[in-house]
Amino acid sequence: MSISKKRAVIALLAISSLIFTAACGDGGAARPNTGNNQDGSVNAVSEAPAAYRNSCIGCHAADLRGNVGPNSNLQKVGSRLSRDEIADIIANGKPNTRMPAFSKQLSEEEIQELADWLAEMK
């Protein structure tokens, strides 16, 4: 393989890994679009705790519809899960899904604030 082809492959791999790692838990790199969506619905994130905007929006979106499949939709999570179940999933992740544990990235207060807010989504 020529040097230019090797460089192209390495560049493609680097770009791919950046895109992949930016998908969830972006550490605040993504900033929410507050106000109204194009369809007229209001972005839930305008009232979201800072931890949601900084750690969750990459996978769950500004409108809570989810960016990584139907299981990432949080629009009515409070009607499916209790507040304590939500807090447990935030802290410990959800096995066999793309939901990671955030107990090392978020404080207990941030996790509880997120759980309280999400439990209201019905």
State the binding site. Answer: 56, 59-60, 99
From the list 120, 66, 53, 56, the residue with the least C-alpha distance to 93 is: 56
Mark the binding-site residues for heme c, compressed into ranges. 56, 59-60, 99
Cβ-based neighbours of 49, under 8 Å, separated by 6 or more? 110, 113, 114, 117
Cβ atoms within 10 A of the Cβ of 59, count?
19
Q: Which residues contact 62 (CB under 8 A, 6 or more apart)?
A: 32, 33, 34, 37, 43, 44, 45
